[in-house]
Amino acid sequence: MDTTVQERVNMWLNGLFDEATKEEIRRLQAENPEELTEAFYRNLEFGTGGLRGIMGVGTNRINKYTVGMATQGYANYLKKTYPDEEISIAIAHDSRNNSRGFAEITAHVMAANGIRAFLFESLRPTPELSFAIRNLGCKGGVVCTASHNPKEYNGYKAYWNDGGQLVPPHDKNVIAEVDKITSVEEVQWSGGEELIQSLGKDMDEAYWRMAKDLSVYPDIIARQHDLRIVYTPIHGTGIMLVPELLRRYGFTNITIVEEQSRPDGNFPTVVYPNPEESEAMSIGLKKARETNADILLGTDPDADRVGIAVKDHKGSWVLLNGNQTAVLAFSYLIEARKAKGIAKPTDMVVKTIVTTDMINRVAAENQVTCYDVLTGFKWIAELIKEKEGAEDYIIGGEESYGMLVGSKLRDKDAVSAVAIICEMAAYEKDKGRSLFEKLIDLYVQYGYYKEKLISITKKGMRGQEEIAEMMDSFRKNTPGSINGSPVVQLLDYELRKGKNMITGEEWDIKLPKSNVLQFLLEDGSKISARPSGTEPKIKFYFSVNASLENAAEFDKVSSSLDRRIEDIIVDLKLK
């Protein structure tokens, strides 16, 4: 075993760690030394989004000690930033194993540092945590969740006083403070328990009222109140808020997928509790077919991502991807504001750089400003804050199933998104058509944009190096053409430089530094490459487009775009 790893193991065996932890280390020493090395070969990185990792003993795992040390560092930064003010934070957690315990540890460490901790009485969606921070005037917040990761994972997401996740300079400053905590002995584990305050139904009520006010056409819902809705929380927190919000919107025909209705950190019916995965939505699809539903919706464990399924133009159930859902939602709100006479010249929408450019076109043709930000919803939140008072934020979204309607909170919100998407379905049903038919109409109007994402997983100590090597290779060996179409622009967000590959002209990218590469082709295709910020993966995003003359040509054009994407993947040797 590496000497550094052995030193860390010995520190835990001889330090102030509980006996159960030490016993597990001894078991791994005897039975699985490779896993022990993985658990101790590094310190789990507190990144710009907080912690995320596999649960277990060790410095490279999520456990009560790594959570406590992270909280101490965060508390130290809060006290440095607000030296003469009363500080409070809000704390929530999802349905994952150990999440409640981690949330309670967070509350106790904060309280021991003299910081008031508003701790939700039981599991709650991440968006309600963001809402609570703003509602209570907190200086920050924490939610214990690993979002849509497999059951072995957990995480710790830190928030600032606007209800958004940490952005510069606070992200790097908190990381620096967390990195200073090198021993569990530096953590204030207890004391000040009177500063821990429970949150519950009152905050739920405040959230429901806010979300209900987002409704654009309550009169249409009244006519289509029996829209046949099937909803699955996929064993997560959505069950706490979504069904009641749908009822308050006025929907009366709601079927909950019973097999996935109970919060359970083992996620017994799925491999990945992620609405992006067809397997996670399969039980819901079965229920939708049985009930002849109009729409199926699913949320991930912390209810910040939403996936939907509808019947296509042939009557078959299909899962829409995040780009398609975003296009429908953005166009709905833009069109609705125009129709109701409440659109303003200052209206704006926000998307990420890897989300479909079809949204840019929809916004432009409706005279609405569309901003592109880096991947990660914290950048959407930061832009809302930057433009507050000068421009009117309507909606933001990203291809990874995240959406935020209105600015009363500052993270993606699948709870309110479910209600708005059901309203969209009711609106189209009131006109005698489906959401899928509306999507085809949008393709005819704005062009058919089609996207695909592939992720390549690289686990273990060598994994991060392999991902870095892949990105370095693309930077140093920029292809002149891809799938027979010349590369006309290279956008390097790490260097914050754009380059016209034909003329050689270069320009600065006015966004923060990020390890993302984008290749824009002459035929309108766009390929993006970026390492995941939360998983050991490198992600490749493909976007192609073509004109669609009429709905009858949909299948033909769709097939040709599929072939173009597959040809690009083969040409880049990613398959």
Residue 371 pLDDT grade (very low, low, confident, very high; cuts 50, 70, 90): very high
Give the global pTM.
0.95
Instruction: Report pLDDT for 410.
Output: 97
Known active-site residue 215: no
The answer to whether residue 356 is domain-embedded is yes
The answer to whether residue 219 is domain-embedded is no
Residue 464 pLDDT grade (very low, low, confident, very high; cuts 50, 70, 90): confident
Q: Are residues 53 and 76 in the same domain?
A: yes
CA distance 263 to 257: 12
pLDDT (average), residues 73-93: 97
Instruction: Report pLDDT for 8.
Output: 94
Q: What's 202's domain CATH number? A: 3.40.120.10
Q: Are residues 81 and 152 in the same domain?
A: yes
pLDDT at 317 over 90: yes
% of residues, the chain, pLDDT over 70: 99
Instruction: Please give the mean pLDDT across all residues of the chain.
Output: 96
Q: Are residues 481 and 421 in the same domain?
A: no
Side-by-side strand order, sheet with 229-232: 254-256, 229-232, 295-299, 306-311, 317-320
All residues at 6 or more sequence positions from 286 whose CB lies less than 8 Å from its CB, including other chains? none
Active-site residue identified among 99, 130, 147, 514: 147
The 3-state secondary structure of 426-476 reads HHHHHCCCCHHHHHHHHHHHHCEEEEEEEEEECCHHHHHHHHHHHHHHHHH
The answer to whether residue 212 is domain-embedded is no
Residue 575 pLDDT grade (very low, low, confident, very high; cuts 50, 70, 90): confident
**177, 145 contact by CB (below 8 A):** no
**93, 143 contact by CB (below 8 A):** yes
Q: Are residues 86 and 190 in the same domain?
A: yes
Q: What's 503's domain CATH number? A: 3.30.310
Instruction: Report pLDDT for 465.
Output: 83
Q: Are residues 454 and 559 in the same domain?
A: yes
Residue 2 pLDDT grade (very low, low, confident, very high; cuts 50, 70, 90): confident
Q: Are residues 202 and 76 in the same domain?
A: yes
Structural domain total, the chain: 4
The answer to whether residue 242 is domain-embedded is yes
pLDDT (average), residues 286-308: 98
Over the stretch 478-534, which tens digit does the pLDDT of each residue have? 999 999 999 999 999 999 999 999 999 999 999 999 999 999 999 999 999 999 866
**575 compared with 224, residue with greater pLDDT:** 224
Residue 387 pLDDT grade (very low, low, confident, very high; cuts 50, 70, 90): very high
Instruction: Report pLDDT for 461.
Output: 64
Judged by average pLDDT, the poorest of 2-6, 205-209, 334-338 is 2-6
Q: Are residues 165 and 193 in the same domain?
A: yes
The answer to whether residue 433 is domain-embedded is yes
Work out the widest C-alpha separation in the chain, in whole angstroms.
Answer: 72
Q: Are residues 299 and 417 in the same domain?
A: yes
Instruction: Report pLDDT for 534.
Output: 63
The answer to whether residue 217 is domain-embedded is no
Q: Are residues 294 and 404 in the same domain?
A: yes
Range of the structural domain that residue 25 is part of: 1-41
Q: Are residues 439 and 521 in the same domain?
A: no
CA distance 184 to 514: 32
Q: Are residues 294 and 425 in the same domain?
A: yes
The answer to whether residue 218 is domain-embedded is no
- Structure tokens of 111? 């309280």
Q: Are residues 178 and 235 in the same domain?
A: no
The 3-state secondary structure of 298-328 reads EECCCCCCEEEEEECCCCCEEEECHHHHHHH
Q: Which residue among 420, 446, 472 closes a domain?
A: 446
